[in-house]
Amino acid sequence: MKHIGIVGTGAWATTLGILLARTGYETVLWSRSETRAAELERSRVNERSVPGVQFPASMSVSASLDESFSESELVIVAVPSISVRENLKHISYALSAVTSIVCATKGIEIESGKRMSEVIIEELPGFCLDNIGVLSGPNLAPEIAAGKISSATVAFPSSSVSESVQSILSSDVFRVYRSEDVKGVELGGALKNIVAIGAGFIDGAGLGANI
């Protein structure tokens, strides 16, 4: 059974963990808080973020870097964009340089204006660039956790890595497309809400569809 480590315990991290565990992978959510990790492991449900959905047996929650990442073939970063860099500083020494890392966080770092994959590259300088990618799509975590059908795109510079991660993330209810356009997939996810708000203003002002 492949081991997958997930950085975060929020709605998206929990949902990805549930999705992958249901597919048959051993997944571990990593929390920086020992108290939070113990609480989730004991209750076996994330009532704060994904209420009412029980954790599969092959999914666990830990504050231990060794338990979470030492055997991981894939690491998924799924924390708010404001805390991606800080979390990477905590886990960097526990990761193998040959591990594939996919960032499921949408956003741009406020201070630097950098994309999340660029932040990861900065914080993990010894990693092969081909192994650092992103996951993005029109995904509502509670619906996916409830088993509703959804899709996303995974992008890596290397087509072989992209294909491998696509295979891991795909399931009967979660269709994953693959791409080598990391920047395009990442910016699409980060900027979509801005475009949607602008489109709403245009529509509300009655300016038509040509704007």
- Is 2 annotated as catalytic? no
Q: Which two tokens stand for residue 148?
A: 């509703």
Cα–Cα distances (Å) from 9 to 29, 196, 201, in that order, read: 6, 28, 35
List phi, psi (to 5°) of 160.
-70, -40
List phi, psi (to 5°) of 115.
-70, 160
State the amino acid at position 192 in one-letter form.
K
Give the SS3 label for residue 73: coil
The residue from 89, 148, 183, 192 that is catalytic is 192
Give the SS3 label for residue 188: helix
Q: Which residues are catalytic?
A: 192
